């Protein structure tokens, strides 16, 4: 049996104001402070489309290779619910902003059906004493809805697809896609079919608000449907929600209760016309997309796939890597330092260390002027204080001792102070060498070039008896 999955993804656009009025589209204000007659659905109030929202929706459509239509229309989606002050939501139906398109996933293309604009509903807040409150700050916030073709073959692939959508939209500045803030939400439909035959009955899971929830809910539903079909029973067409705590899906309505939204064209808004000049301008403004960047990195840098994935996940990190490599062209070394040191530090806060300073630390380590431990220490201090490595180096005496004459004093002292270890080594105990090397590092406060120190020790100790 083959699994067939399709996703409907809602994304909050990164605009200052709402889709059809001038109210702020942020969630920071106190409840119901971002409202006006338009987004509260007062009689006679008229919507005016937000140009920036249309532009961001087009950016997204172009990034996903959709055909953006020269003319599209808004439509009313009618339903009655307390989160919907007008009794309908302004969306797009039979003439969406864009259609077609695809996303690349590990070399495979997954088709998209459409991408359209719509307004968000208000937020219902359920209190502990059983009341439900309505916050209209979210009503009218601009969203895009992206509908994929049913071409996803596993819950894992669905997760990877949603992740790819998030990565791309962040890259192009269309949305922050913070799933905890509800800026990216997903509904998933799933059915099973015998290889090559028609699709089976599908179920739809609503409001999956994390990557984990998406994958787990689909895996549960896949197993549930398979068990039914293998037992000769039928899958009922249903709408479900995911109960993460219980680890199962729960039906909220069946086919008989399926909603009829009575879509019709929005009479208060003319068709949305998009000129080819504006479209070209938006296209020219798109940065290199993550998939293209990954392809280029594979060819240019020869990095392991894992490094490429980690470093291209966020555009700022990928830009940073490229800037460092331009100054210090050893990609694998830069990648190692970024993945182990810089990204760890970046979790503490903003990266205040410029690519040039980072490259300089790497160069000092690469040239043997700074040992690795001192390099890491310097990086950490520069990161935390925002001061340049040069300044810190001038202040502190951190440079590695790679001068044989300078180091041999320390080596002589260590040999004189540890006659037992010297005798042990000469008697054949190889480990005594590590001990002596450790003593040299200690004496030089970690500044000795370990390779040189080892060579000097061996020279002075002479051959051992093994
Ligand atoms: Zn408003």
Give mean pLDDT, residues 343-353. 81
- Please tell me whether residue 390 adopts helix, strand or coil conformation: helix
Ligand 1 mean position, distance from CA 12 (Å): 16
Higher pLDDT, residue 401 or 262: 262
Ligand 1 mean position, distance from CA 83 (Å): 15
User: Which domains does the chain possess?
Assistant: 2-281 (no CATH), 288-395 (no CATH), 404-461 (1.10.10.410)
Q: pLDDT band at residue 169, thresholds of 50, 70 and 90? A: very high
At residue 466, does pLDDT exceed 60?
no
- The whole-angstrom separation of Cα 276 and Cα 353 is 42
Give mean pLDDT, residues 314-324. 94
Check if the beta carbon of residue 119 is closer than 8 Å to that of residue 140: yes
Mean pLDDT estimate for the chain: 91
Ligand 1 mean position, distance from CA 340 (Å): 47
Q: pLDDT band at residue 271, thresholds of 50, 70 and 90? A: very high
- The whole-angstrom separation of Cα 85 and Cα 107 is 45
- The whole-angstrom separation of Cα 146 and Cα 98 is 10
Give mean pLDDT, residues 367-395. 82
Give buried/exposed letters for 368-379 (b at 16+ CB in 10 A, else e). Answer: ebbbeebbbbbb
Nearest to 92 by CA among 13, 146, 166, 151: 146
Higher pLDDT, residue 441 or 248: 248
Check if the beta carbon of residue 421 is closer than 8 Å to that of residue 400: no
Ligand 1 mean position, distance from CA 28 (Å): 15
- The whole-angstrom separation of Cα 119 and Cα 39 is 10
Ligand 1 mean position, distance from CA 36 (Å): 4
Taking ligand 1, which is a single-atom ion, which protein residues have CB atoms under 5 Å away? 21, 23, 36, 38-39
Give mean pLDDT, residues 27-43. 93
Q: 399-448 pLDDT, tens per residue? A: 666 777 778 888 889 999 999 999 898 888 888 888 998 888 888 877 78
Check if the beta carbon of residue 297 is closer than 8 Å to that of residue 308: yes
Nearest to 184 by CA among 432, 7, 48, 6: 7
Q: What is the pLDDT of residue 199?
A: 74
Ligand 1 mean position, distance from CA 236 (Å): 41
Q: What is the pLDDT of residue 382?
A: 85
In this predicted structure, which of 199-203, 239-243, 384-388 has the lowest mean pLDDT? 384-388
Sign of torsion, CA 183 189 190 195? negative
Ligand 1 mean position, distance from CA 118 (Å): 15
Ligand 1 mean position, distance from CA 123 (Å): 15
Higher pLDDT, residue 381 or 396: 381
Ligand 1 mean position, distance from CA 44 (Å): 14
Give buried/exposed letters for 426-451 (b at 16+ CB in 10 A, else e). Answer: eeeeeebbeebbebbbebbeebbbbe
């Amino acid at each position: 049996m083959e699994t067939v999955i399709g996703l409907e993804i809602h994304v909050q656009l990164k605009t200052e104001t709402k889709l059809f009025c001038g109210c702020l589209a942020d969630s920071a204000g106190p409840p119901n402070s971002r409202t006006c007659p338009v987004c509260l659905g007062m009689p006679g109030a008229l919507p005016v489309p937000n140009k920036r929202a249309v532009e961001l929706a087009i950016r997204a459509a172009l990034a996903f290779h959709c055909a953006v239509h020269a003319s599209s229309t808004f439509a009313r989606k009618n339903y009655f619910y307390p989160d919907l002050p007008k009794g309908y939501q302004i969306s797009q139906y039979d003439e969406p902003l864009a259609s077609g398109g695809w996303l690349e996933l590990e070399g495979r293309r997954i088709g998209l059906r459409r991408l359209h604009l719509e307004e968000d509903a208000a937020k219902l807040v359920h209190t502990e004493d059983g009341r439900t409150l309505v916050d209209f700050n979210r009503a009218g916030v601009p969203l895009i809805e992206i509908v994929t073709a049913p071409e996803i073959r596993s819950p894992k692939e669905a997760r990877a697809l949603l992740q790819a959508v998030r990565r791309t939209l962040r890259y192009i500045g269309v949305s922050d896609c913070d799933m905890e803030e509800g800026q990216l939400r997903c509904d998933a439909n799933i059915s099973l079919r015998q290889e090559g035959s028609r699709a089976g009955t599908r179920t739809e899971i609503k409001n999956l608000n994390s990557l984990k929830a998406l994958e787990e809910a689909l895996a549960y539903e896949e197993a549930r449907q398979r068990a039914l079909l293998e037992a000769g029973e039928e899958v009922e067409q249903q709408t479900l929600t995911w109960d993460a705590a219980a680890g199962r899906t729960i039906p909220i309505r069946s086919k008989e209760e399926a909603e009829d939204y009575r879509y019709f064209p929005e009479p208060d808004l003319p068709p949305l016309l998009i000129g080819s000049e504006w479209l070209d301008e938006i296209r020219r403004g798109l940065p290199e997309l993550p998939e293209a960047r990954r392809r280029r990195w594979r060819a240019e840098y020869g990095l392991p796939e894992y490094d490429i994935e980690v470093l291209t996940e966020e555009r700022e990190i990928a830009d940073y890597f490229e800037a460092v490599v331009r100054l210090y062209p050893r990609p694998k070394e830069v990648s190692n330092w970024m993945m182990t040191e810089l990204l760890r530090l970046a979790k503490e806060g903003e990266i205040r260390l410029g690519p040039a300073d980072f490259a300089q630390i790497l160069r000092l380590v690469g040239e043997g002027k700074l040992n690795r431990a001192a390099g890491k220490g310097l990086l950490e201090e520069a990161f935390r204080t925002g001061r340049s490595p040069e300044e810190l180096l001038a202040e502190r005496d951190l440079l590695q001792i790679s001068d044989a004459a300078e180091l041999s004093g320390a080596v002589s002292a260590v040999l004189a102070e540890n006659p037992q270890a010297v005798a042990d080594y000469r008697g054949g105990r190889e480990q005594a060498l590590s001990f002596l090397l450790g003593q040299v590092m200690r004496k030089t406060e970690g500044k000795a070039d370990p390779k040189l120190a080892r060579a000097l020790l061996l020279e002075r100790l002479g051959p051992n008896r093994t």
